[in-house]
Amino acid sequence: MRHEHPAAVTCVTAQQEQDWNVAQLAAPVQQAQWRLWHYSEPEVVLGCAQYDALHQPSGNRTRKVLRQAGGGAVLVGPWMLSVSVVLPHTHPLVTNSPVSSYRWLGQCFADVLCMSQVAAHAISPEETRVLKQSNDLGGELAWACYGGLSPWEVVVDQRKLVGLAQVRRSTGILLVAGLLLSQPDWPVLCDAMQQPNSLARHLHDCTTSLQEESHTGVGLSDMTESLTAALNAALQGVTT
């Protein structure tokens, strides 16, 4: 899979991405803004409730950063293409329900993936309840974002391909999504989070990637181009 960096995607550290996210919500959001991110090195992005793990030692010394959004730990790296979208509360895509506010973004990813001949779909709240029973291994993977499922995340069959998170502030709404271009190095995440290495296989089994599901050789450049067009269309022509 190709990992060149098209003009529309920014190669960052996890901290640089989080700094951009925080800065966008520091003052009232006036208009929709978005950025696509890619990463050259593995890093762990912790959910806001995982602060205690921030300074826990790990054998591989993988850098950890904390995000404002909740949820489990995310292992970013060359295997992930992410997006941050900030919206004012008055934007038509923002709803009173945090769950339904995800819907358009999950569907955007699903539509782009389907155009690339990947049999992906965004899961409804009803489907999420059913899939959780088979994918969360009784809570063993609750600490990992990609070890569980939330409404409007994107799956192929029952395997997670795109994860979502959200921050709601009085100044605006931040939505983030991460697409697995290839399978992450799950043992690195297990080590960083002081979890049994055996759970790396379970994380692999309940996730999939663009590399695994695409039969047309779609890579970072192709996905960046398609997502750029889809995001601009969904946000009614707002550009970066």
Residue 7 CA: distances (Å) to CA of 4, 38, 108, 228: 10, 12, 20, 11
Residue 43 CA: distances (Å) to CA of 66, 104, 122, 205, 210: 11, 28, 26, 21, 20
Does residue 2 belong to any structural domain of this protein? no
CATH of the domain at 111: 3.30.930.10
Does residue 4 belong to any structural domain of this protein? no
User: Which single residue is written with the structure tokens 């692999």?
Assistant: 204
Task: For strands 64-66 and 154-156, give the pairing.
Answer: unpaired
- Write the DSSP assignment of 114-171 as a string of letters: HHTT---EEPPHHHHHHHHHHHSGGGTTTTBGGGS--TT-EEETTEEEEEEEEEEETT
Each residue's pLDDT, cut to its tens digit, for the chain (240 residues) gives: 333 455 589 999 999 999 999 999 999 999 999 999 999 999 999 999 999 999 887 777 899 999 999 999 999 999 999 999 999 999 999 999 999 999 999 999 999 999 999 999 999 999 998 877 766 555 899 999 999 999 999 999 999 999 999 999 999 999 999 999 999 999 999 999 999 999 999 999 999 999 999 987 888 999 999 999 999 999 975 433
How far is C-alpha 149 from the geometric centre of its chain's CA atoms? 12
Does residue 137 belong to any structural domain of this protein? yes
The closest alpha carbon to 229, from 1, 6, 3, belongs to 6
CA distance 192 to 54: 10
Number of structural domains the chain divides into: 1
Q: Is the four-CA dihedral 229, 180, 32, 20 of positive or negative sign?
A: negative
Contact criterion met (CB below 8 Å) for 26 and 171 = yes
Does residue 236 belong to any structural domain of this protein? no
Q: Give the contacts of 212 (CB within 8 A, at least 6 positions apart).
A: 182, 183
Does residue 24 belong to any structural domain of this protein? yes
CA distance 227 to 177: 12
Does residue 161 belong to any structural domain of this protein? yes
How far is C-alpha 127 from the geometric centre of its chain's CA atoms? 19
Does residue 54 belong to any structural domain of this protein? yes
Q: Would the pTM count as exceeding 0.95?
A: no
Does residue 160 belong to any structural domain of this protein? yes
State which residues form the domain around 111: 9-230
